Chain A
Amino acid sequence: MRHIISILLENESGALSRVAGLFSARAYNIESLTVAPTEDPSMSRMTLVTSGSAEIIEQITKQLNKLIDVVKLNDLNVSCVQHIEREMMLIKLKAPASAREEIMRLTDIFRANIIDVNGDTYTVELTGTTEKLNAFINVFDCDSILETVRSGVMGIARGSSSLHV
């Protein structure tokens, strides 16, 4: 099963490689990983998406917790937690005059924004779940997509529960 793990990490050089190294050394897979400093600059917040059996996920969270740089973590896919997840995508599309109308219409439908326009390309910004982003990609044929950049999933628990020190 797919799990989203939120991690508060010391903002130290090398902390990220400890997490990445753990996954490669123990042959766990990482589907996506995002990381950036929090409001407290001494800490980073990482969201990591992985998958595996219940036993593997248990080992992954234990091994992550064991890393000295990990301050705290939270598995967002345990039954007692409801969560929200978002991913952001920037997608650069071929935009010949004939296609512009359709791109703008789809952008509207998906509540996306066109953030850069030039002679023959449009760049669209879109936020949502992984499925929504995939759906947006799928409405275009491969030839018209010049480039996609995705942030990887970010997750947060619903309600008042929060991951902080």
Chain B
Amino acid sequence: MAEAPATPRSPLAGLAGALAGAQAGGVTLTERPARARLNLRLDPEDEEALAAAAAVLGAALPLAPNTAASAGDRTVLWLGPDEWLVTGPAAEADMLTGALAGRHHAITDVSAMYATLALSGANAREVLMKGCRLDLHPRAFAAGTCVQTALARAQVILHRSGNGQTYEITVRNSFSVYLATWLLDAMAEYRPA
């Protein structure tokens, strides 16, 4: 028996009030709206598969580690030498499946696996530095950099957006309330009294 598609519900719904209060001062925290997320795997030496995926996505799959590509409202994050996370409109899974037919690949819908938080403002880097061991200085972590690492001991995908003003933090749903609560606490000193 077919069931009606479930309406996406944010795992951070219970923190909506706290997040609404985190929109002023030197650093702000916002949850990104729910979007389609696909985990895409294919052979990076299969030029035809790379071209077919790029034609659907409008952007070449980034092949350099710790990088990302964007086209319109679509983002492609490097996750591994043969693995990417595609965030964008929901129609992509079918388009990619068609474009990659007959080629060795895997497409997994992980839309309901993650929440994405956006940390912005002059003090955003200082907040992240409290819980991240990587060098986040712009000379080492330029705009557009995307890494997978630990933030406050939770595994995250940390993407510094193209304009460099925002850090997008993608985290598993089950860690999202913990991480958002940790961030709100780490932000407290930069918020208006």
Same complex origin of A and B = no
**A interface list, Cβ under 8 A from B:** none
**B interface list, Cβ under 8 A from A:** none
